[in-house]
Amino acid sequence: MRVEIAVFDGFDEIDVFGPFEALAAGGVAVELTAVHGPGTVCSQRGVRLQVEHGLLARPGLPDGVIVPGGGWLNRAAHGAWAEVQDATLPRLLTGARGRLGWIAAVCSGAMVLASAGMLRDRRATTNRSCFAEFEPLVGELIDERVVDDGDVITAGALTSGLDLGIHLVRRFVGEDVADRVMRSLEYPPRLTR
């Protein structure tokens, strides 16, 4: 299985690296791909990445794409909100949708899918702080960490990206591998007081 995680200026780091870590630990070929083509991409907290490939630009489509959030709630000049305003990311996703096995989103990345009309008749979730804006755009808002509606999978805020990655490993690679990934990540953590 090959997965592309879309990155754009203003992406939230844990939305990208949470699922990346879980998928890679499960033996999935996972790659960060830049929405606006190869080059430097800067996260919302200033982490700079040199990204070699554009989203959905390599020969042969990936099995799935993950869209992170970041910058939605404060309508940041860079982030998920700005990507919807620019329309490149929604256009790429809707154009490839029927040819991809699945599309997933973490946190306010689900707002990108919802704004593109991709969740109109779907069960979905997002960051709880986006619920009021999200609910009119989806078939059914579900307050869960991961909501799997077949070829569209959404995850709640921030650390739910780890849950998404583990869920994808479980669904596409196998239960045993997902259990091994959870043990290797020590997730969920055992909290002490």
Residue 193 falls inside a structural domain: no
Structurally, the chain folds into a number of domains equal to 1
Calculated CA dihedral for residues 39, 164, 153, 78, nearest 10 degrees: -30
pLDDT tens digits, 148-160: 999 999 999 989 9
pLDDT at 130: 98
Considering only CA atoms, which of 24, 31, 43 is closest in space to residue 181?
24
Distance CA 106, CA 50 (A): 22
Residue 25 falls inside a structural domain: yes
Residue 142 falls inside a structural domain: yes
103: containing domain? 2-183
Q: Judge contact between 119 and 143, C-beta under 8 A.
A: no
Residue 190 falls inside a structural domain: no
Fill in the DSSP letter of residue 150. Answer: S
Fill in the DSSP letter of residue 176. Answer: H
Does position 191 have pLDDT exceeding 90, yes or no? no
pLDDT at 188: 87
Considering only CA atoms, which of 15, 11, 10, 6 is closest in space to residue 56?
6
Band (189; pLDDT cuts 50, 70, 90): confident
Residue 73 falls inside a structural domain: yes
pLDDT tens digits, 175-185: 999 999 999 99
pLDDT at 81: 98
HEC string of 7-58?
A: ECCCCCHHHHHHHHHHHHHCCCEEEEEECCCCEEEECCCCCEEEECCECCCC
Domain CATH code at residue 132: 3.40.50.880
Distance CA 22, CA 66 (A): 13
pLDDT tens digits, 10-31: 999 999 999 999 999 999 999 9
Residue 191 falls inside a structural domain: no
Residue 188 falls inside a structural domain: no
Fill in the DSSP letter of residue 151. Answer: S
pTM of the model: 0.97
Residue 77 falls inside a structural domain: yes
The average pLDDT across 100-116 equals: 98
pLDDT tens digits, 61-88: 999 999 999 999 999 999 999 999 999 9
DSSP per-residue codes, 99-145: GSSEEEEETTHHHHHHHTTTTTTSEE---GGGHHHHGGGSSEE--SS
